[in-house]
């Protein structure tokens, strides 16, 4: 597993190429820093979780009017099958009306400004694209 904060150009192009125009859900697996660290090295007494919460509030303000919904967000409690109890601190499932809405978000200036809090608070993240609907 490679734990990073930003997609590569190839990942963004593949994401764009998978677009169907249908809603998508993004499974977010989050690992927080103990203490937030901003890129500009500003003095900071925030925990990683607190910095990420600043990002999460801005995300909601920017994206909910565009039809984005947070379906679930919560702390992990342990692994039932497999290993790695300490790999992730929180899980979130975010539904986007379409791939394009998420691509537009990445270019949005307000969203880019909020990203500083995300980067300060996260040690790493996995973001997994999920198709909409039930397959069972």
3-state secondary structure of 103: helix
Domain count, the chain: 1
What residue numbers bound the domain in which 102 lies?
A: 21-131
CATH number of the domain where residue 59 is located: 3.30.70.100
Does 89 fall in a domain? yes
Distance of CA 114 to the CA centre of its chain: 12
- pLDDT by residue for the chain (136 residues), tens only, comes to 556 788 899 999 999 999 999 999 999 999 999 999 999 999 999 999 999 999 999 999 999 999 999 999 999 999 889 888 889 999 999 999 999 999 999 999 999 999 999 999 999 999 999 987 666 6
Give the model's pLDDT for residue 4: 77
Does 3 fall in a domain? no
Give the model's pLDDT for residue 136: 63
3-state secondary structure of 4: strand
Does 60 fall in a domain? yes
Instruction: Give backbone dihedrals phi and psi of 13, rounded to 5 degrees, phi first.
Output: -65, -40
Give the model's pLDDT for residue 3: 61
Does 9 fall in a domain? no
Give CA–CA dist 126/131, Å, rounded.
16
Does 15 fall in a domain? no
Does 119 fall in a domain? yes
């Amino acid at each position: 597993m490679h734990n990073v904060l930003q997609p590569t150009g190839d990942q963004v192009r593949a994401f764009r190429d998978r677009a169907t125009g249908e809603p998508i859900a993004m499974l977010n697996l989050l690992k927080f820093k103990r203490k937030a660290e901003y890129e500009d090295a500003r003095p900071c007494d925030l925990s990683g979780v607190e910095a990420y919460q600043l990002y999460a509030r801005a995300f909601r303000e920017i994206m909910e009017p565009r039809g984005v919904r947070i379906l679930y967000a919560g702390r992990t409690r342990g692994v039932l099958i497999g290993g790695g109890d300490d790999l992730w601190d929180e899980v979130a499932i975010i539904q986007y009306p379409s791939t394009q809405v998420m691509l537009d978000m990445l270019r949005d200036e307000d969203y880019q400004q909020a990203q500083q809090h995300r980067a300060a608070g996260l040690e790493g993240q996995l973001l997994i694209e999920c198709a909409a609907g039930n397959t069972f």
